[in-house]
Structure 1
C-alpha cells in the first residue's frame, strides 16, 4: 500500500467500537522492545549497521510463514516532514522515529493495528493497538509477531536480565502496556494530580496523549507500566488491568457526583462547548481539545445523541497540525491552522447532524442546535 492510504483517515475502522469500557477507554497498546544480537544498539551503531538491521528485520517479516498480516514498508527518510507528523498523530510511529535522518523505517499492517518500528531507540519496537480496553488481545497480537520474528532474528537476551534494551527501564520483558483514557471528571474535580502521584508509587506512569514529554490534551491520558525488569508479562498485564479498572471506577464516580451536585452547570459547559465547535471561526488546538472533551463527556452521559464518540475520537486526531495541513492541501501557519481547524470541525459536526436528529438535555425538552 502507498503511504497516502495510511494518511486518508484519522482513525481506522477497528477504533469504532462500543463496549462497556468505551465511554472512558479510547485504546489499548502493547509495545515490545527488542534488539538483535551481535549489533550495537541504535544509540551507538553506524549507518551501515543500521542498514543491516533494517534489511534483516524486513526480510524476516517478508519471509515469515507465521504472520497472516501483510505489511507495508516505509523508510522514514523517504517520507516528508508532514507525512511523518501525521503518522505520529495517528500513533503509528513515535516522535523519536519521526526525527530520524539516518536509516529508520516502519512496517504497517493494512488495518493499522500493528506497527513495527525499526531503528528507533531499539532495533525493534513491535506495537499492537486495539480499541477500548483489550489488554490481553493486544498482547496476544504483539506476542504472535514477536515469536514469528524471533525464529529468524537472534535477539539480544541474557538469562539473568532478560531482553537487553537501550534504556534500562525496558530491560527484562521489554513490555510496555498502556491504556489511553478520557478522564474529564477527574480533571475537573482536581483529582488527577493525586492519581498521578499514586501511579508513580505503584511503578506506573501517566502521560499525555502522545506519550513521554507530551502534554495532556483534551483530558486524555496514557497510563502505562514503568517497570519491566523482575516481572513477568502476566504480572505487568495484571497490574495495568487492576490500576486501569480502578481509574475507570473513579472517573465514573466523579461523573456521577458532578451530575448530582452540579448537573445544570455541567450541562451548560457541555452545550457551550458544542456551540463553540459548531459556530467558531477560529479555534486553537487547546480550545478545540477542551471543547471536544466536553462534548464527548456529553455523549457518554447521554446528553448528546446526534454525535458519536467515534466522531470525537477522529476529531481529536484530525485537528492536529499535520492532519489539518493534509486536509487543507497546503502548508499552514499557526494562525491559518486555527481557522482551518474551526472549519474542519464545523463541517464534521454538520455532517453528523444530517444523519442524527437532535440533542436531548437531561430533564429538558429536545434541542436542535
Structure 2
C-alpha cells in the first residue's frame, strides 16, 4: 500500500462508533517484545538493527492481518511523512526520529501498527474506536502469537517478557484510552479526577503520550507498570477507571446544561464563529475550538453535525498533514493560514449552534399588564 493510499483512506477508528465513543475516542493496546540473543535497539549497532529488520520484515508482511498493508523502511520516508504517522498515532515520536534499521508495518484499516526497532525490537499496537480494549487486544494478540510461533522471544519464566525499559517487564503490555473531557475542564473538576487516577498507579498523558500537553481537552490514561498482573487484569482495571471517568464527564455535561447553559452556549458559539470565520488559526487554538464544537454536537447544541467530520479535522489541521496537503514545507504563518482556510471550508455544512433557551426568556406579551395608579 502506498503512503498516498494510507493518507487518503481514514482509519477505522477515526470514523468508528464504539462504546462511549462520544467521550472515549480510542482504545489502544501496545505490546513490547524483543528477540532472544539480540541486543536491545538502543544498545545495538546500525548493522545489527538492519540485519534484524531484514530478517523480520518479510515475516510481518506475510501475516494475513498485515498483508498488502503499508510496509516501509524509514530511510525511504521523508520527515513530514513520518510526522504524519505520529499525528495519526501509528508510530511514536521517538521512533519517527530514527532512520536506518527502522521500519513500520500497518494494516490497510490502520487498526494495527508494528514498529520495528523502536525502544524494543517490536512495538505492536491495536487501535479501536470507543471503549473497546478487548477487541484492540484481540487484534494485536493475533500478531504477537504469529510472531512467537516463528521467532524466539526474550522471556523469563519468573519476570515475563524482557524489555528495554524495566517498567514494561512482565506482560510488556500498555493499555490506554484517549478521553475527550471538555465538561470536566469547563467545570474545573479535571485536576481532581486526574489526581485520583494517578493515585491508583495509572498514568495520565497528553495528546501524543508522555511529556505532551493535553491539547483539545484530550487525555490519555494508561497503566504505568506491567509486572505482577495478567493482560486481562490490566485491561479490566483500565476499563473500570475509564467507565468512572466517562460517568464523571456525563455528570459534568448535565451540570453545565442545567446550571450554566448560557456559558456553555457561549463557549460553543464562540468556538463555532472562530473556526468558521478566522483567517489565522494556530494548532492549539484550533484543537481547543474543535473540542468545544464536538461537545456542542454531542449535546445537540449543534444539530445535524457529523461528529466524524470533526474527528477527521482534529488530524487534518496538524502541521505535517497540512504540509503534505500543500506538497511543500510551510512556515508557521503559512500553516496557520492554511489551517484556517481548510477549517472554514470543511465546516461550511455545519449549522450554527442553537440559541440558549431559558424559562426566564418568556415573551413579554405573556406577562400581566402593569398597573398605573393615578
TM-score by length of 2: 0.92
- 8 Å Cα contact 1:36/1:53 also seen in 2: no
**What is the CA deviation profile of residues 312-341 of structure 1, one whole-angstrom value per residue up to 9, with x for unaligned ones?**
111111111001111222211111111111
Q: Equivalences for 1:228-243 in 2 at 5 Å?
A: 228-243=226-241
Q: Secondary structure at the match of 2:215?
A: coil
1:7 to 2:7 alignment: yes
SS of alignment partner, residue 284 of structure 2: helix
* From 304, 307, 327, the counterpart of 1:306: 304
Measure, in 2, the Cα distance between the counterparts of 1:326 and 1:63: 29
Give the superposed CA RMSD.
Answer: 1.7
Partner of 1:83: 81
Partner SS, residue 30 of structure 1: strand
User: 2-side partners of 1:218 and 1:30: how far apart?
Assistant: 22
Q: Give the structure 1 partner of residue 149 of structure 2.
A: 151
- Structure 1 or 2, whichever has the larger Rg, is 2
8 Å CA contact 2:6, 2:70 repeated in 1: no
Q: Which residue pairs with 2:55 in the alignment? A: 56
Aligned to 1:363: 357
1:59 Cα shift?
Answer: 2.6
State how 1:165-244 maps to structure 2 within 5 Å.
165-244=163-242
Q: CA deviation at 1:171?
A: 0.5
TM-score, normalisation: structure 1: 0.93
Equivalent residues of 1:54, 1:105 under 8 A apart: yes
Aligned length, in residue pairs:
359
Shift of 1:187: 1.2
Instruction: Verify: 1:119 aligned to 2:117, yes or no.
Output: yes
Do 1:67 and 1:148's aligned partners in 2 also have CA atoms closer than 8 Å? no
Which residue of structure 1 lines up, in the alignment, with residue 31 of structure 2? 32
Give the whole-Å Cα distance in 2 for the aligned partners of 1:20 and 1:62: 31
Deviations, residues 124-165 of structure 1 (Å, cap 9, x unaligned): 011110111111100011111100111111100001110000
Are the aligned partners of 1:90 and 1:317 in contact in 2 as well (CA < 8 Å)? yes
CA distance in 2 between partners of 1:236 and 1:153 (Å): 26
SS of equivalent to 2:43:
coil
Consecutive unaligned residues of structure 1, counting only runs of 5 or more, are none
CA distance in 2, matches of 1:295, 1:337: 21
**SS of corresponding position for 2:25:** strand
Ranges in structure 2 where 5+ consecutive residues have no aligned partner:
362-374
Q: Give the whole-Å Cα distance in 2 for the aligned partners of 1:359 and 1:188.
A: 18
For 2:196 and 2:323, locate their aligned partners in 1 and report how far apart those are by CA, in whole Å: 39
Change (3 A) 1:345 1:2: same
User: Separation in 2 of the partners of 1:190 and 1:158?
Assistant: 46
Q: Once the 2 structures are TM-superposed, how far is the Cα of residue 4 of structure 1 from its aligned partner? A: 1.6
| Structure 1 residue 68: Cα displacement | 6.8
User: How has the CA–CA distance of structure 1 residues 62 and 331 changed in structure 2, closer, same or farther, with 3 Å as cutoff?
Assistant: closer
Displacement of 1:70 after TM fit? 3.5
C-alpha separation in 1, matches of 2:335 and 2:274: 17
Q: CA deviation at 1:278?
A: 0.5
Runs of 4+, deviation exceeding 4 Å: 66-69
Q: Counterpart of 1:132?
A: 130
Structure 1's 67 and 264: CA in aligned 2 closer, same or farther, altered over 3 A? closer
Query: Equivalent residue of 2:257, what SS?
Result: helix
3-state SS in 2 of match to 1:259: helix
